[in-house]
Amino acid sequence: MSLLIVDQSKCEKDEFCVRECPAAVIRISAGDGFPELVEGGDAGCIRCGHCVAVCPHGAMSHADVPIESSPEIREALEIGEAQAAQFLRSRRSVRVFKDKPVEKEKIRRLIEIARYAPTGGNSQMIEWVAITDKSRLKKIAGLTVDWVRQLAKDPNVVAAAPYLPMVVAAWDAGFDSVLRNAPAVVVACAAGGIMTGQTDLTIAMTYLDLMAPALGLGTCWAGLLQGALAASPPLKAAAGIPEGHPYHYPMMLGYNDIKYFRLPERKAPKILYL
């Protein structure tokens, strides 16, 4: 069976699919004038579904991106510039969480959206680990502090990151400033050999980050844990990151116990127009 399934009763031969295809594997048939796959197109197709998305007539389906799983865009749900700007500017790093577990179902719904983030070559090779077990989270935070404690012995490191000794002091005083007592940590990871692995998972994590408030959840990028994960194979194992997965990023997740009322200012951008 061909990858492309063209409903000839709907196709108007307007060639949108041909012009759109990023892999240039669709052409117009010299015989009947309908779109068809070029020779070798099966291997070249990146399964992005643009041919399905771009057809105004619903005439194109794809064996791996079926039209039935590709819903129409609902114009009523589109947002304007002001809504988009406020939505993006109001995303905050949440560090105060309720002592309330995050339902696995909600984590699944977040990942369900994050999987639509773009990936290089449409590889879609990101994997996810969701840690909700309190004792495991505490162990992970403690191992991270062990790593910070070592780092903080180097004055050059402390000069560059003056908050590190505070992380250790807070932990020793009984406060977790690594994971902020978040009831969940989600880790996105990808296997070695995926050329755009770290970028892909960072974008996907950003999708998850942006989606979380709609489910009543807050997030915070766990940069300290990320540093420790990169340095410590036992910590990577404790965090459930599979072997052979050099790319990863963890994010704290939980119900906000805090609310924001303003959009804080940031540095003016440096832009070079050429």
* Shortest Cβ 69–ligand FMN spacing (Å): 33
- Contact assessment for residue 96 and residue 257, using Cβ atoms and an 8 Å cutoff: yes
Compute the distance between CA of residue 258 and CA of residue 180 in angstroms, rounded to an integer: 13
* Shortest Cβ 175–ligand FMN spacing (Å): 12
Q: Does 257 bind ligand FMN (CB under 6 A)?
A: no
User: Is 210 buried (19+), middle (13-18) or exposed (0-12) by CB count in 10 A?
Assistant: middle
* Shortest Cβ 170–ligand FMN spacing (Å): 11
Q: Does 60 bind ligand FMN (CB under 6 A)?
A: no
Q: Determine which residue in the list 48, 137, 201, 224 makes contact with ligand FMN, applying CB under 6 A.
A: 224
Residues linked to residue 250 through DSSP beta bridges, in sequence order: 187
Q: Determine which residue in the list 13, 27, 47, 92 makes contact with ligand FMN, applying CB under 6 A.
A: 92
Residues in the chain: 274
Compute the distance between CA of residue 253 and CA of residue 240 in angstroms, rounded to an integer: 17
Q: How far is CA 126 from CA 60, 115, 223, in A?
A: 28, 8, 19
Q: Does 185 bind ligand FMN (CB under 6 A)?
A: no
Which residue number, 27 or 92, has a Cβ lying nearer to ligand FMN? Answer: 92
* Shortest Cβ 62–ligand FMN spacing (Å): 36
For 129, list phi and psi in degrees, rounded to 5.
Answer: -125, 130
Q: Does 222 bind ligand FMN (CB under 6 A)?
A: yes
Give Cβ neighbours of residue 47 (< 8 Å, ≥ 6 apart). 62, 64, 65, 122
Of the candidate spans 26-34, 88-96, 110-118, 125-133, the one that interacts with ligand FMN by CB under 6 A turns out to be 88-96
* Shortest Cβ 117–ligand FMN spacing (Å): 16
Give Cβ neighbours of residue 42 (< 8 Å, ≥ 6 apart). 3
Q: Determine which residue in the list 66, 223, 233, 242 makes contact with ligand FMN, applying CB under 6 A.
A: 223
Angle between the N-to-C axes of helices 197-211 and 104-114, in degrees from 0 to 180, rounded to the nearest 10: 120
Q: Determine which residue in the list 5, 109, 127, 221 makes contact with ligand FMN, applying CB under 6 A.
A: 221
- Contact assessment for residue 86 and residue 195, using Cβ atoms and an 8 Å cutoff: no
Q: Determine which residue in the list 29, 83, 93, 150 makes contact with ligand FMN, applying CB under 6 A.
A: 93
Q: Does 220 bind ligand FMN (CB under 6 A)?
A: yes
Residues linked to residue 190 through DSSP beta bridges, in sequence order: 247
Catalog residues that contact ligand FMN under the rule CB under 6 A: 92-93, 95, 220-224
